Structure 1
Amino acid sequence: MKIAILGTGAGGRCHAAKLLELGHEVIVGTRDPDATLARTAPDHMGTPPYRDWLAAHPGATVCTFADAAAAADLVINGISGDHALNALTAIKDQLAGKTLIDYAVPYVYQHDSAHKWPTPWGFMPLLDPVDSDSLAEQIQRALPETRVVKSFVTQEQETVVDPKSIGGGDHTMFVSGDDEAAKGRAAQLLREYGWTDIVDLGPLVTARGLEMYAHFHSAVGLALGRRFGVKIV
Structure 2
Amino acid sequence: MKIAVLGTGGGGRAHAAKLHELGHQVTVGTRDPEATLARTEPDMMGNPPYRQWLADHPGIPLATFADAAAAAELVINGIDGHNAVRALTALADQLAGKVLVDYAVPFIYNPDTEHPWPTPWGVMPRLDPVDIDSLGEQIQRALPDVKVVKAFVTQEQDTVVSPRAVGDGDGDHTMFIAGNDADAKQAVTQLLKNYGWSDILDLGDLHAARGMEMYAHMHSAIGFALGGHFGIKVIR
The answer to whether TM tops 0.5 is yes
The gaps in structure 1 that reach 5 residues or longer are none
For each residue in 1:58-87, what CA deviation from the matched residue of structure 2 results, as whole angstroms up to 9, or x when unmatched?
111111000000000000001111111111
Distance in 2 between the 1:143 and 1:110 partners?
Answer: 29
CA shift, 1:110, in A, is 3.0
TM-score by length of 2: 0.98
Distance in 2 between the 1:227 and 1:111 partners?
Answer: 25
Structure 1 runs (4+) deviating above 2 angstroms are none
The gaps in structure 2 that reach 5 residues or longer are none
Distance in 2 between the 1:122 and 1:40 partners?
Answer: 23
The one-letter amino acid of 2:106's match is P
Structure 1 counterpart SS, 2:5: strand
Aligned equivalent of 1:209: 211
Aligned equivalent of 1:8: 8
Aligned equivalent of 2:143: 143
What is the aligned-residue RMSD (CA, Å)? 0.7
Aligned equivalent of 1:200: 202
Distance in 2 between the 1:12 and 1:64 partners?
Answer: 14
CA shift, 1:40, in A, is 1.5
For each residue in 1:99-140, what CA deviation from the matched residue of structure 2 results, as whole angstroms up to 9, or x when unmatched?
000000000113211111111111101111001000000000
Distance in 2 between the 1:214 and 1:46 partners?
Answer: 20
For each residue in 1:207-231, what CA deviation from the matched residue of structure 2 results, as whole angstroms up to 9, or x when unmatched?
0000000000000000111110000
Aligned equivalent of 1:116: 116
Distance in 1 between the 2:82 and 2:124 partners?
Answer: 14
Distance in 2 between the 1:154 and 1:220 partners?
Answer: 12
Structure 1 counterpart SS, 2:193: helix
Distance in 2 between the 1:34 and 1:203 partners?
Answer: 38
Distance in 2 between the 1:200 and 1:207 partners?
Answer: 11
- Find 1:220's aligned residue among 214, 219, 222: 222
- How many residue pairs get aligned? The number is 233
Structure 2 counterpart SS, 1:213: helix
Distance in 1 between the 2:89 and 2:110 partners?
Answer: 23
TM-score by length of 1: 0.99
